[in-house]
Each structure stands twice: as structure tokens, then as C-alpha cells.
Amino acid sequence: MKHRPGSNKAAEKSLVILISGRGSNMRALLEADLPCRVAAVISNKADAPGLEVARQHGIATRVVAHRDYPDRESFDAALAATIDACQPDIVALAGFMRILTPRFVEHYHGRLVNIHPSLLPAYGGLDTHARAIKDGVKIHGCTVHFVTADLDHGPIIIQAAVPVLWRDTPATLAERVLRQEHRIYPQAVRWLCMDSLVLDGEGKVYLNRVEQPGFALVAPALE
Ligand code: GAR
């Protein structure tokens, strides 16, 4: 875990993580030894199991319950006030299951990221694994992207692909994808912490380094 309460290194960035549920991606971020300070974990649900996990890691938690607000605008305003009190450089949605208003998203332009359980732009929305199996796709996966007002779209930072196997159920496929989510989300946040990403004028993201090794996932495998 790389939670450094009280650290005041000038260059160290600050991270806020938003959750709604079990928080396994949040846990992956907390345990990834990231070069940042985790200022808080915020949930829109008081009973999100991930809150206890955060506390066990010594992270401050907050609840901004969407049910306490009459509309999206007022909820998002309260959420933004709670986030901004932590002065984060990066805000990571980790299974945060609320649609955010354009105003909120714009406020965090370039520093709000999300993980989604599909190879976007395919299968935005819910039930991604069941829909992928129904369509018979052979490769599925997960995506970390900058958040824009367009739900489950936005500049893609990193993706991981997994094979869809003949006997897969939504649960077995979800498990395979989730293992990759726990690898790519810390990587994406690490790049953000290190200012390693370039978001160009066309909304595409590049690593500000040279070549990447290329390889192919072929599924089913060639014989
Ligand atoms: C993860 O699979 C994440 O990709 C997904 O919710 C799950 C949360 O699990 N997010 C979305 O579907 C967002 N559109 P977790 O609470 O264990 O991280």
C-alpha cells in the first residue's frame, strides 16, 4: 500500500477514488504502491463494502448519498464539493455507478478517469459480459479512459483483452476481465501520477515515450 498521510512532497499528486460497491479496483489502486497520496475514498452508498476496505488501509472515507439529493445536479454539486475539499490532482471512478452531469465532468476535465468492463467503444453501459457472450465475440476485455459527458466514451488510456471461452458464463468471463482490470487501472493511474500521458487535440491519448512492443491476442488460439 502506498498511502502516505501527511506527506508534503511538492511533486506528489493526490488521488481521490469514487466507489459504489465492493471496491476491488479501489483495493488494486491502494495496494499498487502508486507514487501519490490517496486523499479519500468517497461512496454514494453508505453500505458500500469497499468503504471498510479503504478504512482498513488507513484511508479517509466520505459518503455523499445520492438518495439525499432531489436531482443529479444537486448531487453532483455536493459530490464535487466533497472531492474538491481534498484538492485532488486525479479522480478515479472505481465501480462508481452514477451517471455524472456534463458540468461535473467538465470541472474535472483531464483528471477524471474510469474503468469499464469492456473493450470500448463496444459494450458501454451495463451487463457487458452477458452481451459479449450473446454476440459470440471471441475477444473481450476492459478499458481505462478519461471521462467525458458521453457515457462510457472518452479518450482511451489503456485496454486489456481476454479470450471469451466456449463454456464462459457472464460470471466466469467477468472474473477473467476483472483480473485484468486490477492490472491496467493501477498502470493508468501511475502514468497520470508521473505525467506520462499526452491527451491530444483530437481526444486521443498517447504515452509520451517511444515505441511499444506489439503483439496479438488470437482467440481461439491458432493451431
Ligand atoms: C468493475 O468491473 C468495473 O469495471 C465496473 O464495475 C465493477 C466494479 O467492481 N464499472 C462499470 O461498469 C462502470 N461503467 P469493483 O467495485 O470490485 O471495482
Closest atom of ligand 1 to 22 CA is: 16
- Asked if 22 and 56 touch (Cβ cutoff 8 Å), the reply is no
Model pLDDT, residue 210: 63
Closest atom of ligand 1 to 125 CA is: 14
pTM of the model: 0.94
Q: Would you say the CB of residue 181 lies under 6 angstroms from ligand 1?
A: yes
Model pLDDT, residue 201: 86
Q: Please identify, in words, the CATH class of the domain defined by 13-207.
A: alpha beta
Model pLDDT, residue 9: 44
Determine the distance separating the centroid of ligand 1 and the alpha carbon of 70, expressed in angstroms. Answer: 25
Determine the distance separating the centroid of ligand 1 and the alpha carbon of 77, expressed in angstroms. Answer: 23
Model pLDDT, residue 2: 41
- List the chain residues with pLDDT less than 70: 1-10, 210
